[in-house]
Amino acid sequence: MSPLSFDLHSAGVLAPGLSCLDDLRAACRSGQLHEAVQPAAAPSPDVLPANERRRASQVVRLTLACIEQALTSSPFEADSLRCVFATDEGTGEICQQMLHALDTSRQMSQLLFSNSVLNAPSGYFSIGYRNRQSATVISVGLESFAAGLVFAATEAWSAGQPVLLVSYDPRMTPPMDELLPITVSTASAWVISAGMGQQLPKLASFSIDVVEAGNIRPTSLPSWIPTAWTGQGSSCAFAALGLLEEQETAELRLRWNELMLHVRRKSDRG
Amino acid sequence: MTVPLAIRHPPALGVPAVTVVHPSGCDAQALWKALATNTTGLSRNELEWCDLPCWIGTVPGADVGLPNALKQWDSRAHRLVWLALQEASFRSAIDGAIGRYGAHRVGLFIGTSTSGIRSTEVAYGVRRSSGQWPPAFSYRHTHSADSLCRFAAEILRLRGPAAAITTACSSSAKVFLAAQRFIRTGLIDAAVVGGSDSLCLSTLHGFASLQLLSEDICRPFDVDRKGISIGEAAGFALLDKAPSKINLVSGGESSDAWHMSTPHPEGVGARQAMVQAITAAGLTPAEIGYVNAHGTGTPANDGSEAAALRDVFGPLGVPVSSTKGLTGHTLGAAGIVEAIVTMLALEHQTLPGSPTLASPDSTLGLDTVLQPRAERIRFAMSNNFGFGGSNCSLVFGTDGVQ
């Protein structure tokens, strides 16, 4: 089949040393990440009504802060975006708190249970931005970003609407981090569209070729991404955004199950 | 003039095979038998590991571990998958699709809400008391949402795109539309879609905390409805680009933009999903012959959905039933279970009833089907709504009626 193509219009990034897309691009250029520069703890999301803001968990704050960055330079209204949220475990501290409550008093708070669903961030996004579009949350372990990118591209093509793709991994807390060593929270948000015309402002255009993996090996993550982040799928999204600083037609290979995605930046000259 | 489903635009997708395990048995025939006789599969909670006063739906055989060769995958959610995939005719249909298209051209999309969390609930207790996780416990093989896909892919020998969709109680309805998009863009030719959710402390106590777990058996659309009864289930359907006797015609998805755990009181999001599904099918509401409602049995959900149904179809505008009185609310598996109920209704040209509905709430303005009855239906809709305000409506159809 012919590759899926999409335009990337804007993006948000959050991780230690990365407080925005410009930080990520600078890290790509210099080959270094100033990990010690912590972004402010994910801010309380102003977009939510006061009662919901108080209820927002860390992962909700993380994703909404990242989305807010992406929406700042998006050519689309926030309520027009269909959504694909891609994550691995996806709830972070909530999972541990719920298991602890069940193993001790069995008294679970309403808030804890409501926040325990994997689609809590997409739900709060919908509430905050009065977005009534479809929101799909997928989980494919370390391959969540690769799968999410294809989900977002197929959704953009099929629906003829712009799509917000959010790739994120909230930090796991003890003792769950012994099972899933996600030690820092990482996230990126992408606003993409497909076939909606050349006139819209964009960062770049990409194509995705999906082929049988066979003996093809995935691209190693760039050296500026800390080794500790290789156990979280959302790092792959940082590598993909790094294509913005690469030569035109640069390629990133991402594994998804028995498939290999060839993600290429398309030439600006078409 | 009726347009054959094969030449509609967009074309319908065939559903040549299904399989399902549910509180009334371990195949689709047992589900149809329970539907046709209007018999509930729910019983009072007698779980050894949960003492909440409520009604539940347990799958026969779910307490038995997986065969030794599959031990590393053993979780209650995977046992349900394993049981569902024992259906020989379903396996043969999958093998046929792999033969026609290749294992890389058949997708796998599985909806779940809690996946294998029951295993982690048990393991967490060991970790807290002993300081060590049980040696045999593997989070990646039992609880991780994608383990459902990796487990099912191993059994079915699928090598194509695979993902878990987890949007609470709409999860395994949305898998149909994800697969439809992948087929339309040409990435795959067929897909196995499904869902699995098992009984676990997380959801039993979680819904109890929200005061949504009924001590009485759930009674969707009843004037005395007091909340949900939780069931467990797993089910799968093969979607094929070639239409068959029963087909997925279209669907609609929306978000409420309202509240994390309470549906919009006027059902604005539910209405949007239904209208989208009907419009995408090129139909009018009058052409939908039956709606399998989400109908959980909570006062808020049933009120919200009824408002949306009245808005779309008019008061008493379409025969409606919720089959959760039969299966319980199977949460992340509700989408696939109720899609299969809807397809069985089309296949048998019979509307399912409402086994636990004694006194219909007349203020809801619904034409609720109390007892199963024969009726000619060409198109039927299945609704599923979930936490986060996630809504999904699917339209299925058959060419077998004129």
pTM for the full model? Answer: 0.97
Q: B210 vs A110: CB contact, 8 Å cut-off?
A: yes
Residues 2-61 of A with CB under 8 A from B: 2, 4, 52, 55
Asked if A89's CB is within 8 angstroms of B205's CB, the reply is no
Q: How does the average pLDDT of chain B come out, rounded?
A: 96
Residue whose entry in the numeric block shows the structure tokens 């109908």: B295
Per-residue pLDDT of chain B (402 residues; tens, 9 = 90+): 456 665 566 679 999 999 999 999 999 999 999 999 999 999 999 999 999 999 999 999 999 999 999 999 999 999 999 999 999 999 999 999 999 999 999 999 999 999 999 999 999 999 999 999 999 999 999 999 999 999 999 999 999 999 999 999 999 999 999 999 999 999 999 999 999 999 999 999 999 999 999 999 999 999 999 999 999 999 999 999 999 999 999 999 999 999 999 999 999 999 999 999 999 999 999 999 999 999 999 999 999 999 999 999 999 999 999 999 999 999 999 999 999 999 999 999 999 999 999 999 999 999 999 999 999 999 999 999 999 999 999 999 998 665
What are the CA-CA distances from residue B42 to residues A108, B21, B39, B231, B330 (Å)?
Answer: 25, 14, 9, 8, 11
Indicate the DSSP class of residue B359: S
Could you read off the pLDDT of B120-179 as tens digits, one per residue? Answer: 999 999 999 999 999 999 999 999 999 999 999 999 999 999 999 999 999 999 999 999
Burial class (CB within 10 angstroms; exposed 0-12, middle 13-18, buried 19+) of B180: buried
The number of beta carbons lying within 10 Å of the beta carbon of residue B49 is 11
Supply the mean pLDDT for chain A: 93
Asked whether B386 and B299 are in contact (CB, 8 A), the reply is no
Residue whose token pair is 């051209």 = B105
Q: Cβ separation of A140 and B257 shorter than 8 Å?
A: no
Strand pairing report for B106-111 and B190-197: parallel
The β-bridge relationship of strands B288-292 and B379-386 is: parallel
Chains A, B: CB pairs < 8 Å: 192
Asked whether the ipTM of the predicted complex exceeds the cut of 0.95, the reply is yes
Cα first-last separation, chain A: 19
Question: Residue A38: is its pLDDT beyond 80?
Answer: no
Q: Quick check: is B169 catalytic?
A: yes
Catalytic residue from among B169, B200, B218, B392: B169
Element holding A29 (H helix, E strand): helix A21-30
Sequence-ordered list of residues with C-beta below 8 angstroms from that of A19, at least 6 positions apart, any chain: A13, A37, A39, A40
Residue of A57, A213, A143 lying closest to B159 (CA atoms)? A213
| A151 reaches B (C-beta below 8 A) | yes
Q: Is A257 on the interface with B (CB under 8 A)?
A: yes
Comparing CA positions, the residue from B349, B19, B334 lying closest to residue B170 is: B334
Smallest CA–CA separation between B201 and chain A, in Å?
Answer: 7
Measure the CA–CA gap between B159 and B280, rounded to whole angstroms. 30
For the question of residue B294 being annotated catalytic, the response is: yes
